[in-house]
Amino acid sequence: MVERPNSPVCPPRRVLMGPGPSDVSPSVLAALGAPTVGHLDPYFLNLMDEVQQMLRELFQTENSLTLAVSGTGSAGMETCIVNLVEPGDRVLIGVNGVFGGRMADVATRYGAEVRTIERSFGEVFSTEKVAEAVREFQPKLVGLVHAETSTGACQPIPEISKAVHDQGAMLLIDCVTSLGGIPVEIDEWNVDAAYSGTQKCLSCPPGLAPVTFSKRAVEAMDARSSKVASWYLDMSMVRNYWSGQSRAYHHTAPINMNYALHTALREALDESLEARFERHHQNHLGLRAGLEALGLKYAVDESIRLPMLNAVLIPEGVDDKTVRGRLLNEFGIEIGGGLGPMAGKTWRIGLMGAASTTSNVLLFLAALENCLQ
Ligand code: PLP
């Protein structure tokens, strides 16, 4: 039996360079400790307005329905799907990693008729492949993962979006790992729904899921003939709490997590998106140079590599768990192992948000070199 603890929590200090969560900046951590107010307190309602406005800037959108769902990235995924899909609706999902697979699972659970198109882990979809499937299947919704955290591949969106819309479908994208680290241009790319998480390039603890819906997506929700299958994630109620006249109670928002997100968003925008993307890019280049000097090879082609998630092949004869264990126990550095078919074959090295620094790159390379000797 686990004994009753007699001391406060005292987690070890880590450098979080895995697939997320990433390092949280001190000001975001401090915001978590600010006094909790009520979820209908005018102070908090105003803070929610500001969170929404800053999320619009981050998502590069004017979408009025943009907010932070109470829950992690997967709650954002479920929110988008459950609100846009009614039982029997056709949904096409691109599966080229773990998270496309999760999207298909979620859509199936909510009664959609799901068809998947598939690519090997580490590859992305061509416009032709998606266009062909959309023409054939005529889905209501197409779901793609912009930044596949399980593989480190970046799915190009703009051209595909055009092909999806040419056939009258809506486009949903997973931006859990991309938001705040590379451009996510919801309006420019004509994306109908997108979700993210707080614990990657926003460098907040896990716990909220930013989402945004286009006017067309909102119209589709308003035209539903069935109730949204999840009470908690039903945007027709949640949006009345986040905006409008009534600001009616729906659920008790995680107040302090919203303080943290507010702080993280303000920091990201103070840095400027352009500078933030450039920082992620430069630190990725630094890491890549060092990894290549150590003889490691990337698992995905250079043209589609994510700067914030570097998936590299584990060298022949090197034991995955021994190295990751040493990095953690001797150097305090967390990196991720491979997922799905990449388990035991790749390491996933994150350079996300506050963890994307030159000093982390150098620290990691020195530690890895030591572990590989
Ligand atoms: N989608 C992607 C691309 C992710 O990387 C993750 C988490 O790593 C998720 C969805 C799910 O998010 P969460 O674990 O916060 O529920």
- The confidence score (pLDDT) of residue 300 equals 96
The bridge status of strand 208-213 relative to strand 65-70 is antiparallel
Q: Is the predicted pLDDT of residue 265 greater than 90, yes or no?
A: yes
d(CA 288, CA 308): 11
Helices (H), the chain: 26-32, 42-59, 73-84, 98-109, 127-137, 158-166, 215-222, 235-242, 255-271, 273-293, 320-331, 358-372
- Whole-model pTM: value is 0.98
The pLDDT of 311-315, averaged and rounded, is 97
97 CA: nearest ligand 1 atom: 3
Smallest CA-to-CA distance from 179 within 169, 191, 170 is with 191
Identify the pLDDT of residue 1. 87
Taking a C-beta distance cutoff of 8 angstroms, is the pair 172, 194 a contact?
yes
Tokens of 42: 């005018």
Q: What is the pLDDT of residue 79?
A: 98
Pocket test for ligand 1, best of 99, 173, 208, 339 (most atoms within 8 A of CB): 99
> Atom 12 of ligand 1 has which residue's CA nearest to it?
73
Residue 277: what pLDDT? 98
> For ligand 1, what atom is nearest to the CA of residue 150?
5
Among 59, 128, 137, 123, CA closest to 93: 137
Residue 75 CA: nearest ligand 1 atom is 16
Show binding-site residues: 348
Per-residue pLDDT tens over the stretch 200-242: 999 999 999 999 999 999 999 999 999 999 999 999 999 999 9
pLDDT at 245 over 90: no
Please choose from 16, 69, 74, 80 the residue to mutate so as to test ligand 1's pocket, defined by most ligand atoms within 8 A of CB. 74
The pLDDT score that the predictor gives to residue 301 is: 97
CA-to-CA distance for 103 and 80, rounded, in angstroms? 10
CA 174 – ligand 1 centroid, Å: 9
Residues 28-66: tens digit of each pLDDT: 999 999 999 999 999 999 999 999 999 999 999 999 999
Name which residue sits closest to atom 15 of ligand 1, judged by CA.
73
Could you report the per-residue pLDDT of 177-190, keeping only the tens digit for each? 999 999 999 999 99
Residue 153 has a pLDDT of: 98
Q: Please give the angle made by the CA atoms of 276, 14 and 199, to the nearest 5 degrees.
A: 45
CA–CA separation, 193 and 125 (whole Å): 19
Is residue 195 scored above 90 in pLDDT? yes
Quote the pLDDT of residue 356: 98
Whether residue 191 has pLDDT greater than 90:
yes
* pLDDT-derived band at 17, boundaries 50, 70, 90: very high
Q: Please report, in range form, the residues annotated as the binding site for substrate.
A: 348
For residue 2, the CA-to-ligand 1 centroid distance in Å is: 30
Task: Kindly report the average pLDDT of the chain as a whole number.
Answer: 97
Q: State the distance from the centre of ligand 1 to the C-alpha of 41, rounded, in angstroms.
A: 31
Euclidean distance between the first and the last CA atom of the chain, given in angstroms as a whole number: 41
pLDDT digits (tens, 9 = 90+) for 271-304: 999 999 999 999 999 999 999 999 999 999 999 9
Residue range 120-130, pLDDT digits in tens: 999 999 999 99
For residue 270, is pLDDT > 90?
yes
Summarised one tens digit per residue, pLDDT across range 320-355 is: 999 999 999 999 999 999 999 999 999 999 999 999
Please identify, by atom number, the ligand 1 atom nearest to the C-alpha of residue 147: 3
Mean pLDDT of the region 79-102: 98
Q: Three-state SS for 166?
A: helix
How far, in Å, is the centroid of ligand 1 from the Cα of 35? 29
CB-based contacts of 310, cutoff 8 Å, min separation 6: 152, 284, 287, 288, 291, 298, 348, 349, 350, 351
- pLDDT bin (cut points 50, 70, 90) of residue 198 is very high
Q: Which of 174, 176, 195 to mutate to test the pocket of ligand 1 (most atoms within 8 A of CB)?
A: 176
Other CB atoms closer than 10 Å to residue 106's CB: what's the count?
21
Q: What is the structure's pLDDT at 203?
A: 95
Question: From the alpha carbon of 146, which atom of ligand 1 is closest?
Answer: 3
Structure ipTM over 0.95, yes or no: yes
Q: How far apart are CA 167 and CA 164, in angstroms?
A: 6
What spacing in Å lies between the alpha carbon of 177 and ligand 1's midpoint? 7
User: Which residues line ligand 1 at a C-beta cut-off of 6 Å?
Assistant: 19-20, 72-74, 77, 99, 145, 149, 174, 176-177, 197, 206
